[in-house]
Structure 1
């Protein structure tokens, strides 16, 4: 997602509303990584492989967003020291539910980037991130036996 959003010696051309959406997407990636670190302590071995792949994906996205924000002269938001899980995580199912929530939140944040950006490279990156997160969401909804597997409007529920 590293984008050339400005010309040499020019001011950044990214509107403030787009920067705010990117900051929210970065905050969502931070929160998702925290959720995965907690969930990994509870998920069974057969789910852990997917969880580790998801961690890699979120880590990559986090780095790309931070780099993009830095390139346009913005300081990327930092991760919080901890986050509040929507419900206690005490077993595999509740850990999976936490990951459903984390992926839903990241999809919503990426949707916000799409809605608040006019730059084609950023919109393409946002759509790709949203699509990949929907795939991760479908996996976690499947293993936690939630229906539908893919919500009608991912990121809205």
Structure 2
């Protein structure tokens, strides 16, 4: 095919269009090559987000009034990440795991101190979910998304630990 552009050669050969994200391609169909392990890693992170969203409802009802707006912002961030995760999972041909109707609290929460401790624990769980997602990721998009979310969760966990007076303020290896 002399004189043809690279794009025309690609179309004539039936090759898939290159990915903007740089992900590998599956056979002849468009879509990133992903493993079942990557999907399970994303599902684990999604389950952690579901749990955190539920838990922040408890935190918000027990936290001091001056901290409630922070809790609302964090809850909104978790909801946005949950929605992004669900989209990533759907793009990989799987159905996102649904949230549970209820979650068990690790301890009774009825005052601001308990709410701060629960918030730190929720972020530890989210960090753990994303650490697993990073370890299972086979595409750059999933790995980058999970790593950014792991970092955010670790920073929030550190903030909650500092506010609640837990020492050390930073966990040694967030998510692990």
Structure 2 length-normalised TM: 0.82
- Whole-Å separation in 1 of the counterparts to 2:99 and 2:168: 31
1:120-141 per-position Cα deviation (integer Å, ceiling 9, x unaligned): 1211111110111111111111
Q: Please tell me whether the aligned partners of residues 35 and 138 of structure 2 are also in contact (alpha carbons under 8 angstroms).
A: no
- In the alignment, is residue 125 of structure 1 matched against residue 125 of structure 2? no
Larger radius of gyration: 2
Q: How does 1:1-150 map to 2 (within 5 A)?
A: 9-10=29-30, 13-150=33-170
Q: How many residues align?
A: 154
- Whole-Å separation in 2 of the counterparts to 1:101 and 1:4: 35
* 5+ long unaligned stretches in structure 1: none
- Whole-Å separation in 1 of the counterparts to 2:170 and 2:29: 45
* 5+ long unaligned stretches in structure 2: 1-20
RMSD over aligned CA atoms reads 1.8
- Whole-Å separation in 2 of the counterparts to 1:58 and 1:72: 21
1:10, distance to aligned residue in structure 2 (A): 4.2
Structure 1 length-normalised TM: 0.91
- Whole-Å separation in 2 of the counterparts to 1:58 and 1:99: 12
Q: Please tell me whether the aligned partners of residues 12 and 73 of structure 1 are also in contact (alpha carbons under 8 angstroms).
A: no
